[in-house]
Amino acid sequence: MSRPLNSDQFTLQFFQQRLALRVNKTVIYALALVTLLLFALMLWSLFVGSYQLSIAQVIATLTNPQPGSPSSDVIWLFRFPRTLAAILVGIMMALSGAVLQNITRNSLADPSLVGISQGAALAVVVAIIAFPDLDKSYRSVLAFAGSTSVAALIMLLSHSKHNHKPMRFILLGIALSAFLSAVTTAYLTYGQLYQASAALGWLAGNIDGVNWLDVKILCYSSLCLLPILLIQSRAMAVVRLGDTNAIALGVNLDWMKYSLVATSVALAATATSVVGPIGFIGLIAPHAARRVCTSGVMGHLLLSALIGGLLLLVADVLGRRLIAPSQLPAGVLTQIIGVPIFVYLLLRKKTLPSS
Amino acid sequence: MNTSTLVLKQSSKKYQWAMALLYCAVSVLFLAHLAIGAKALTIEQLLAAFSAFDRNNFDHIIIWNIRLPRALIAISVGASLAVAGAIMQGVTKNPLASPSILGLLAGAAFAIVVALGWFGIDSPLYTPWIAALGASSAALLVGFIAHAAPGGATPHNLTLAGAAVSAFLAAIVTVFQLSNEDDFDDLREWLSGSLAGNNIEVVIAIAPWMILAMLAAILLSNKITLLAMGDETAKGLGLSTTRLKIQLMLTVVMLTACSVAMAGPVGFIGLVIPHISRFFIGADYRKVIPFSALLGACFLLGVDIIARVVISPAEISTGIATAIIGAPIFVYLIKAKLA
């Protein structure tokens, strides 16, 4: 990089500049802080719940697991997978939202707002009610099919030769998601009560009841998708400059957009298939990260991901505590917290992050 | 006779024909709605049920207790939501304005859920007022957010604010549903917008308020046309726009609230019907309002018949049917009107 850097910035380069990362120190500090918070919260999440455990017990169980003892079972079978799932889903939703906001150049884009989550939701709810015997592992395939179709439909509909309005993507997404939720709600009336309850619990975004298999699914898919995202992040920086500039700089814009949308949808779909639609994390986390990391893509993505994981973990722990012994689904909490933030963003002067 | 009055005469003749046709359509669909269903009935049986009601005849009981209330609800809800949408689109000059998009339906539904879940109120004497409170609060909130947003109350901002408020209220309704599954199981169907399961008392208790609001809409309709020309023009023509807007808002809220109290949130009618009406008879709201009312009634009667026939003897929820028909039109409107 020939550009002179300020004293509070430095550049990391990998693979002969295929991956170059210019970061300022604030971002590094922020990353460190969020990571610390995340670990602290993980511990807290392990000993919060209806089965009382002391911190000493938690640490003893973690360092020396004894399968069969109640404290070990509570932690290793319930709380630990749940905590990891919350973090992973938060990370994936945040990244999905960040990518979507970048491509559409609209700060209000969020997978749960434009119908991507609702597409997954409809597919899974239909499966839960129409084929109650279907194995849970098919859900991710169905959710993926549902979200991809919705995303394709929005892209197709909002595509226009004359004027590409970022707003149109959102409005069409809202129309589609209203439609899909109407169908989902109405479809819920067909099933037996217990099936409908199961579907409703899933629809509310419930991290309760994940097992190690779910965590594995989340882990493997993040491991597949994150490198793809890192490779794309360089092009994302260019897409942020606007369509004309990106084309002038030699980006194959259409291909880039479709591949980025595919990554974003894949992230949201996998996360949704495991825990249900989680609203507004994809909206809040990238904005919070943008406050600290005002330019650049890589740092922003990393920070968004960590903040997303943190937020969803907080929502999950709060959901366990607020109306204990009953539990509030994390997805509902994120939605209740997310809407006021959405309104705040709507009220702010700037609606485009990069123009 | 100069040309302009001639044009007016011609268009009013077309309008009268269209209205006559719609009246016929409503009557035919009304009878069809009563006759078609899980148990098909003949016209003779229908007439007999009205002229010589026999308490021991099972068919007569079906008609009076199940089908008649349902058909009346379809007519009144369809007409009310269509008129509410027409007024909103006229006043705000916003092609996307409608009770569902701007959060009124969600607000009314939320208020009814709270009233039922917390206070156990489900009498049709109170539900319209509770729904009205919810709908007007939601409308005010959405309007306030959109006005405060940069650019003011544009269709974009109103739609986004409406979506946000609806999402928020829906999340809270989900919390109630999950925290008390037994009570809210009954609401499950109602929340999807259902015409089934009401008796004639509900119609009798709520219909008078609907009729009042409908009369108000028709009385105010000539002024809506002026308002739709722009606030400046309306003021120049001697209209007190603020007072008029408040009157119209109250009318819209009442129409929406009564519909929700009867059938739950039925989406898309208020958005789609006014557009079709204006397509056929132009922008004169003296005609758009009655035309929308009849068309809305026809639409919901027709949709409800289809919903009962397609997978007979089970039924598709009316909410699904209106959404399936309404969503493509909404997409078209965004593409065509906001381009």
- Does residue B222 register a pLDDT over 60? yes
Quick check: B163 and A332 CB within 8 A? Answer: no
B86 close to B149: Cβ distance less than 8 angstroms: no
Closest CA to B9 of B228, B1, B23: B1
pLDDT (tens digit per residue) in B276-335: 888 888 888 888 999 999 999 999 998 888 877 776 666 677 777 787 777 777 777 777
Specify if A19 maps to a domain. no
- Does residue B219 register a pLDDT over 70? yes
Domain ranges of chain B: 13-337
pLDDT (tens digit per residue) in B99-117: 888 889 899 989 988 888 7
Name the residue facing B178 among A157, A185, A200 (closest C-beta): A200
Quick check: B171 and A335 CB within 8 A? Answer: yes
Confidence at B5, pLDDT banded by 50, 70, 90: low
Work out the mean pLDDT of chain B and round it to a whole number: 82
Specify if A20 maps to a domain. no
Confidence at A158, pLDDT banded by 50, 70, 90: confident
Q: Is the ipTM value over 0.90, yes or no?
A: no
Cα→Cα distances B182→A193, B34, B110, B186, Å: 10, 32, 18, 8
Q: Any idea how long chain B is?
A: 339
Mutation target among B160, B191, B195 for the A interface, most CBs of A within 10 A = B160
Mutation target among A107, A113, A125, A189 for the B interface, most CBs of B within 10 A = A189
Average pLDDT over residues B111-140: 85
Quick check: A346 and B164 CB within 8 A? Answer: yes
CB < 8 Å to A195, chain B: none
Confidence at A261, pLDDT banded by 50, 70, 90: confident
Specify if A4 maps to a domain. no
**A355, two tokens:** 């123009």
- Domains in chain A, number: 1
The Cα of A226 is separated from the nearest Cα of chain B by a number of Å equal to 30
Give the domain range for residue A309: 45-347
Name the residue facing B192 among A170, A185, A340 (closest C-beta): A185
Beta-carbon neighbour count of residue B120 at 10 Å?
9
Specify if A355 maps to a domain. no
Locate the chain B residue with the closest alpha carbon to A183: B320
Q: Domain B13-337: state its class.
A: mainly alpha
From CA B9, how far away is CA A263, in angstroms rounded? 60
- Does residue A111 register a pLDDT over 80? yes
- Does residue A219 register a pLDDT over 50? yes
Work out the mean pLDDT of chain A and round it to a whole number: 79
**B265, two tokens:** 């949130």
From CA A18, how far away is CA A231, in angstroms rounded? 8
Locate the chain A residue with the closest alpha carbon to B152: A347
Its pTM stands at: 0.77
Quick check: A185 and B172 CB within 8 A? Answer: no
CB < 8 Å to B329, chain A: none
pLDDT (tens digit per residue) in B254-263: 999 999 888 8
Specify if A9 maps to a domain. no
The Cα of A106 is separated from the nearest Cα of chain B by a number of Å equal to 13
B86 close to B274: Cβ distance less than 8 angstroms: yes
Quick check: A346 and B320 CB within 8 A? Answer: no
> Across A3-17, A109-123, A320-334, which has the greatest mean pLDDT?
A109-123
Average pLDDT over residues A259-276: 85
Adjacent-strand bridge partners of A20 = A13
The single residue listed with the structure tokens 């009655």 is B290
What one-character DSSP code corresponds to residue A76?
I
Name the residue facing B319 among A186, A201, A332 (closest C-beta): A186
Cis (ω within 30 of 0) for the bond into A67?
no
Confidence at A97, pLDDT banded by 50, 70, 90: very high
Quick check: A168 and B192 CB within 8 A? Answer: no
Specify if A218 maps to a domain. yes
**B9, two tokens:** 């005469």
Quick check: B316 and A186 CB within 8 A? Answer: yes
Specify if A156 maps to a domain. yes
Name the residue facing A183 among B172, B323, B339 (closest C-beta): B323
pLDDT of residue B77: 92
Quick check: A185 and B191 CB within 8 A? Answer: yes
Locate the chain B residue with the closest alpha carbon to A153: B331
Own/partner pairs for A35-38, CB < 8 Å, 24+ apart? A35/A306, A37/A310, A38/A87, A38/A306, A38/A309, A38/A310, A38/A313
CATH number at residue A257: 1.10.3470.10
Locate the chain B residue with the closest alpha carbon to A114: B163
Confidence at A352, pLDDT banded by 50, 70, 90: very low
pLDDT of residue B214: 94
Specify if A266 maps to a domain. yes
